[in-house]
Structure 1
Amino acid sequence: MDLYAVAQHYLDRILESEPDPAAGEDIKVLLLDSVTSSVISMVTTQSELLKKDVFLIDKLDNFQRDNLRNLACICFVQPSSATIGDLAKEIANPNYKNYTVYFSNTVSRSHLERLAESDDLEMISKVVEVFQDYLVVNSSLFTMPQKLAPHSPLVHDSWNQPAFDQSLQSLMSVLLSLKYKPVIRYESNSKMCAKLANAINFEINSNQMLFGQLPARDLPPSLLVLDRKNDPITPLLFPWTYQSMIHELLGIRNNTVDMSQMANVSEELKELVVNEQTDQFYKESMYLNFGDLSESLKKFIETYKAKTKTSSNISSIKDMKFFLENYPEFKKTSINLSKHMLLSTEIDKKINQLRLWEVGELEQSLATNDNSSADLAELEDLLFDRKLQNGQPLPPLDENTKLKLLALYALRYEAHASSQLSRLTRQLQQTGFPAHKLELVKTLLKNSGVAQRLKDDDDSIFEKVSNSAMGNVINGISFADNSDSNVYMQHSPRLKQVLMKLFRNKLNPKNYTLVKPNGLESYTGNDKIPDQELVIFIVGGVTYEEARLVAELNKTNKNVKLVIGGTSILDSDTFIGLK
């Protein structure tokens, strides 16, 4: 299952036309809103749109647009009240020859009636619903098109209405784009998951015109709705794979990295696109750990050097022709190499500045071992800057890094009799550590502590990677992980345990409530035939490390199709409430 392929299918539908060259209809204007412009930017490029005769791309809310009455207009917009209002104004005072309107989700009758009332000039030639009301981040990762949803433990166990509406609408769009009518499971300790799951069930049952026409399956797809509070460890840990590190240290927004604040960066490297669809090196390297990434980058450099050396030996007209024909590709490769050199150099610099090599070892120990005395000793050395190198004190550890270490310790030893959290907090206060940051640890425990998390005897958020051949193959599905020998990648996200139980049909029904839409009442699950098509959605945000787990399951198991999404994509600062 490839979300890029799904998006491309809809994009082709949106841009399809029956051109009349004499009328100039082979050239088109694409009109977007603030949401669909992000949706489009994640799955295609301007050059690709030009190949499809898109002459101009503009925003619906740009009221200073030129009047181009000789050009046909394709509108791809979200069916929100605000957008419908802007579109009605546009139709009443048209700037273009005619309009084909594509909505990114289902549109209400009242909105259609409002458009019809505005279309006195009969400018709209067609109205179509397509289902692309979400952002495609990776081939198996999606997220919400706007940052409205709860993403931090500071948010209590209830939805705000805009966030709920967006999550519901986007998830419905995901299901319809994949042609899924799923059974739904949600974590029973979460009011937010319960509300969302039941609303999805209601929407499926209320839209039989859409869901009733989907192809029948022997085994229905599944939607698994999880709550971030049940695994607060994964988003707190520093991640050691390429895509995750870029997001954690530099920030990825809509698959771009802003490097414009860096000194001495050329214009073409100020905004870097990181997209597996358009960047082969990134596609091959995004899940590599830092050591393997360095080797991969070294090979990339050597390959590039070999190609440029060959192309520089121009001794004939034939050689010159070959070079000129391939120059654009050489230029593209050169920029791409510079991009990844810049990203990896900045990551390496920040890892050393933040002392993440030593911090990472303690993080992994806290996340996978139960060794309170050793963990406490190492933690105190880092919190109170007691570490020495060659007899000299090391630079003080970053304040936010200290906070996250304290949070991991608080979660790990919350129920431990020897926990020294109160003493550590008090001593940090005495050193001048900001009180509002220490409050974040209390808030984290209040909302994601042991009393709030789902209780399952054989389920733990402090899970170590295991590569037992027997234990990692469930009903023919391999859960093997090649990172068990890496000291920095010992922790395994709780999601892995949940999926292993799901594929054995062993999820505790008390912990995972099953909701069956009309027509799927007979579904009971099968411990011999695992669910094969699954959408996972995490309320409170998903991490790139969980996306990596899903991508690797898809890669090693051709008989399963998994996608994962969340209300946002987290980094550790966002999760704990620092930004």
Structure 2
Amino acid sequence: MDLYTVAQHYLDRILETDSADKIRVLLLDKTTSAVISMVTTQSELLKKDVFLVDKLDNFQRDSLRNLSCICFLEPSMETISNLSREIANPNYQKYDIFFNNSVSNSKLERLAESDDLEMISKVVEIFMDYLVVNKAFFVVPNIVSPYGPLVRDSWHPSAFDQSLQSLMSLLLSLKYKPVIRYETNSKMCAKLANAVNFEINSNQMLFGQLPLRDSPPSLLILDRKNDPITPLLFPWTYQAMIHELLGIHNNTVNMSRVHNISEELKEVVVNEQTDQFYKESMYLNFGDLSESLKRFIETYKTKTKTSSNISSITDMKFFLENYPEFKKTSINLSKHMLLSTEIDKKINELRLWEVGELQQSLATNDNSSGDLAELEDLLFDRKVQNGAPVAPLSEDTKLKLLAVYALRYESHPSNQLSRLTRQLHQLGFPSHKLDLIKHLLQTSGATQRLHDDGESIFEKVSNSTMGGTVNGISFKNNTDGNVYMQHSPRLKQVLMKLFKNKLNTKNYALLKPNGLEAYTGNDKIPDQELVIFIVGGVTYEEARLVAELNQLNPGLKIVIGGTHILDSDTFIGLK
């Protein structure tokens, strides 16, 4: 499954060239500018005769009445209002309008009323109301947090609407009419699942025309509260480390805070579609990443050494023809050297080698006394190196360690959480941060989580049940003895049950849209087409799990998404 291919199909439709239009303008809004930026580049747009990209809400645009305009917009009330204003007082010769999701008749009527000058040449619905992060990973646009202001297990109204619209857009872009499963302990999952089912049944003009399949696709809606451990653990693969330590926003990383940074590296793009090294390295652990970078450097050295030996006209011609490629490779190498250097710096500053080892022990072992002793040494700054105290951990790092401990030993008879929080408070640890632990247990503690047969959020990847083949579906065992990658996301266990057709319907309710009533969910052949959506946020580690499944199983088509992308600070409430 490749969401970039789906996006490219729609882009080709949007940018299809009319022979009469030599150069064109592309108008976007806040949402579609993010959608476009993650699936194409300025240079690709130029190749399609788009010489200017602007925002619809920029009311200071120049009038260019000799140029035609392509509008790629979301059908929101604000956008319709701005577009009506534009059409009534046009800056361009004509307007081809593409909405990134279904648009209501009332909004179309409002547009028509504004088009007295007959400037609109076409209006088309396409389905790109989601952000493509990786080729099998999407996220809903414009959501910071999906939760309502008063009750944790309830939707913020705008986040619910946007999540529903994005999911419907995704399903239509993939041409999926799925059966829907959701976790029954989550009111948010239930509300979204029933809304998707209602929308499918209410839009037979769209979903009724989709190709029939022997086995329907599946939509699996999960709640983040059922696995609070995965987003708290420090991830050790390249893409996830970049996000955790440096922050990825719409596939760009802001590096302007780095001292003496060159202009071209102040903001860098990390996109598997346009960066071959990143594509090959995004799921590598830190040690393998270093080896991959060394090979990249050696390859670059070999190429540049060859190009420097210019002794003839032929050599000069070869160099000039390949100079842009050398320049591009040089910048790309500099980018990844910068990212890996900053990651290494932060790992050492935050003492993540020690922290990560304890996190993995807490998350995968039942060693209360040993874990407690190591935790106390880190929380209360008792570590010594060469006879001198080691620099203390940051408050935020201590908080996240304590959070993992609180979840792991919540029901343990020797649980020392109350004593640890009391001692930290006496030492001046901020109360508002300690309150985040209470909030975490209230929302994602043992009494709130789903407890399905044999499921645990404290699962070790090296367990014999976590590798091998399940009903013809191969799973990768990633441990290789790596003490920093022992934990496996709960998602892996859920998928293994799904592929065995053993999801308990008491815990995972099944909704069947009209026309799919005959589906039983007991087929011997496991689901081959699957969309996973996590309410409350998805992690890059879960996206890696899905990418590995797709790679190991050529017939499998899984995409994963969520309301937003988490790092540990966002999940626990530090930002």
Could you give the per-residue CA deviations for residues 28-56 of structure 1, whole angstroms, max 9, x where no partner exists? 11000011000000000000000000011
1:274–1:282: 8 Å Cα contact kept in structure 2?
A: yes
Equivalent in the alignment of 1:460? 456
| CA distance in structure 2 between the partners assigned to 1:471 and 1:368 by the alignment | 16
Alpha-carbon shift at residue 314 of structure 1 (Å): 0.7
Instruction: Give the 3 Å change call, closer, same or farther, for CA 427–153 of structure 1 in structure 2.
Output: farther
Following superposition of structure 1 onto structure 2, how do residues 32-431 of structure 1 map, counting pairs within 5 Å? 32-150=28-146, 156-431=152-427
| CA distance in structure 2 between the partners assigned to 1:364 and 1:152 by the alignment | 32
Following superposition of structure 1 onto structure 2, how do residues 462-477 of structure 1 map, counting pairs within 5 Å? 462-466=458-462, 468=464, 472-477=468-473
| CA distance in structure 1 between the partners assigned to 2:178 and 2:140 by the alignment | 20
More deviation, 121-130/521-530: 521-530
Alpha-carbon shift at residue 471 of structure 1 (Å): 5.4
| CA distance in structure 2 between the partners assigned to 1:379 and 1:404 by the alignment | 11
Counterpart residue identity of residue 537, structure 1:
F
Normalising to structure 2: TM-score of the pair?
A: 0.99
Query: Does residue 559 in structure 1 map to residue 542 in structure 2?
Result: no
| CA distance in structure 1 between the partners assigned to 2:329 and 2:463 by the alignment | 37
Query: Does residue 15 in structure 1 map to residue 11 in structure 2?
Result: no
2:461–2:479: 8 Å Cα contact kept in structure 1?
A: yes
| CA distance in structure 2 between the partners assigned to 1:487 and 1:203 by the alignment | 46
Alpha-carbon shift at residue 247 of structure 1 (Å): 0.1
Instruction: Give the 3 Å change call, closer, same or farther, for CA 50–551 of structure 1 in structure 2.
Output: same
| CA distance in structure 1 between the partners assigned to 2:99 and 2:463 by the alignment | 46
Could you give the per-residue CA deviations for residues 389-429 of structure 1, whole angstroms, max 9, x where no partner exists? 01111001111000000000000000000000000000000
Could you give the per-residue CA deviations for residues 199-219 of structure 1, whole angstroms, max 9, x where no partner exists? 000000000000000000000
Alpha-carbon shift at residue 18 of structure 1 (Å): 2.0
Could you give the per-residue CA deviations for residues 331-365 of structure 1, whole angstroms, max 9, x where no partner exists? 00000000000000000000000000000000000
Could you give the per-residue CA deviations for residues 411-468 of structure 1, whole angstroms, max 9, x where no partner exists? 0000000000000000000110000000000000000000000012300000000364
Counterpart residue identity of residue 198, structure 1:
N
2:15–2:48: 8 Å Cα contact kept in structure 1?
A: yes
1:149–1:163: 8 Å Cα contact kept in structure 2?
A: yes
| CA distance in structure 1 between the partners assigned to 2:472 and 2:338 by the alignment | 41
1:152–1:574: 8 Å Cα contact kept in structure 2?
A: no
| CA distance in structure 1 between the partners assigned to 2:476 and 2:492 by the alignment | 10
Instruction: Give the 3 Å change call, closer, same or farther, for CA 488–148 of structure 1 in structure 2.
Output: closer
| CA distance in structure 1 between the partners assigned to 2:348 and 2:505 by the alignment | 46
Equivalent in the alignment of 1:5? 5
Following superposition of structure 1 onto structure 2, how do residues 531-570 of structure 1 map, counting pairs within 5 Å? 531-570=527-566
| CA distance in structure 2 between the partners assigned to 1:5 and 1:155 by the alignment | 39
| CA distance in structure 2 between the partners assigned to 1:334 and 1:142 by the alignment | 30
Could you give the per-residue CA deviations for residues 225-263 of structure 1, whole angstroms, max 9, x where no partner exists? 000000000000000000000000000000000011211
Could you give the per-residue CA deviations for residues 484-535 of structure 1, whole angstroms, max 9, x where no partner exists? 4110000000000000000010000000000000000110123420000000
1:465–1:484: 8 Å Cα contact kept in structure 2?
A: no
2:129–2:170: 8 Å Cα contact kept in structure 1?
A: yes
Following superposition of structure 1 onto structure 2, how do residues 429-578 of structure 1 map, counting pairs within 5 Å? 429-466=425-462, 468=464, 472-578=468-574
| CA distance in structure 1 between the partners assigned to 2:452 and 2:553 by the alignment | 27
C-alpha RMSD of the superposition: 1.3
1:151–1:568: 8 Å Cα contact kept in structure 2?
A: no
Q: How many residues are treated as equivalent by the alignment?
A: 575
Identity value in percent: 81
Normalising to structure 1: TM-score of the pair?
A: 0.98
1:151–1:541: 8 Å Cα contact kept in structure 2?
A: no
Instruction: Give the 3 Å change call, closer, same or farther, for CA 240–152 of structure 1 in structure 2.
Output: farther
Counterpart residue identity of residue 134, structure 2:
N
SS of alignment partner, residue 565 of structure 1: strand
1:238–1:248: 8 Å Cα contact kept in structure 2?
A: yes
Instruction: Give the 3 Å change call, closer, same or farther, for CA 490–151 of structure 1 in structure 2.
Output: farther
Alpha-carbon shift at residue 559 of structure 1 (Å): 1.3
Could you give the per-residue CA deviations for residues 514-557 of structure 1, whole angstroms, max 9, x where no partner exists? 00000001101234200000000000000000000000000000
| CA distance in structure 2 between the partners assigned to 1:310 and 1:516 by the alignment | 62
Alpha-carbon shift at residue 148 of structure 1 (Å): 4.3
